[in-house]
Copies of this chain bind each other. A is one copy, B any other.
Amino acid sequence: MKNDNGTAARLVGLAREVMQVSGYAGLHYGSLAKTLGITRAAVHHYYPNKVDLARRVIAEYCEWTRQQLAEIDVMDAPVDDKMRSYFALYRSIIEEGDERLCPGGMLAAEVMTLPPELRADVRKFFDLHVTWVAKVLLGDGSRTEPAGEAARVVAALQGALLVSRLYGRPDSFDAIVDGLMIIVPTTAPIPTKRPARKASVPTKTRKNEGR
């Protein structure tokens, strides 16, 4: 081959960054090409259409995530240490760039406008996270059904990224997440759970209109 600067690989990397900032809707072949100093058609050469490219991005990010989670697994630490390492994974996202969200989270926001294949990929990405967290939470003996709690942790972290990026303050992520360990207690007792379920609510729920 004449010149292969690893364009295909650089393309996925760039595409991921763009998606983290601007989402799938904000991913344009034109700007990718411009950034890499190639033509738009060259992008099509490697990834015939946007879905191909985006799926590749997710696939690679899933793979990377799996590796990171595996590294946490092998460190064989107490549950709350593992969770803190997990939190740090999210923090690394905003450390890489304060305009970024988790690729999965960004796509989750756009999920209704996504082509079906991508939608499925996004769900799988979240499955990966939720099942891993659930597995870890199962590590201490204190619970048997960690599924809801795992979903809560993942949701809270995605929300934390969303909010901290909105304000453009990476450190606000810490402020949000620091207290999150409370809902993943290992040594500390869980406070007595209240009745829960929605109490008297001042909301009339209309199907449509009337806001």
> Are A163 and B108 in touch, CB under 8 angstroms?
yes
> Are B159 and A96 in touch, CB under 8 angstroms?
no
Give the interface size class of chain A: 35 or more
> Are B87 and A112 in touch, CB under 8 angstroms?
no
> Are B157 and A199 in touch, CB under 8 angstroms?
no
Query: Which B residues are CB-close (under 8 A) to A210?
Result: 13
Q: Evaluate whether A71 and B202 lie within 8 angstroms (CB atoms) in the complex, with A176-B155, A190-B191 already known.
A: yes
Indicate which residue in B26, B158, B174, B190 contacts A162 across the interface (CB closer than 8 Å).
B158
- Say how many copies of this protein the assembly contains: 2
Indicate which residue in B97, B158, B207, B208 contacts A159 across the interface (CB closer than 8 Å).
B158
In residues 59-90 of chain A, which contact B (Cβ within 8 Å)?
60-61, 64, 68, 71-72, 75, 77, 80-81, 84-85, 87-89
Q: Return the chain B residue nearest A186 by Cβ.
A: B194
Whether A39 is near chain B, meaning CB under 8 Å from some CB there, is: no
On A, residues with C-beta under 8 Å from B are 10, 13, 16-17, 21-23, 25-26, 60-61, 64, 68, 71-72, 75, 77, 80-81, 84-85, 87-89, 91-92, 95-97, 99, 101, 105-106, 108-113, 122-123, 126, 147-149, 151-152, 154-160, 162-167, 172, 174-183, 185, 187-194, 196-203, 205-211
Given contact pairs A22-B112, A75-B202, A155-B176, enumerate 8 new A-B contacts (beta carbons under 8 Å).
Answer: A23-B113, A85-B203, A108-B165, A109-B162, A148-B176, A148-B179, A155-B163, A158-B163
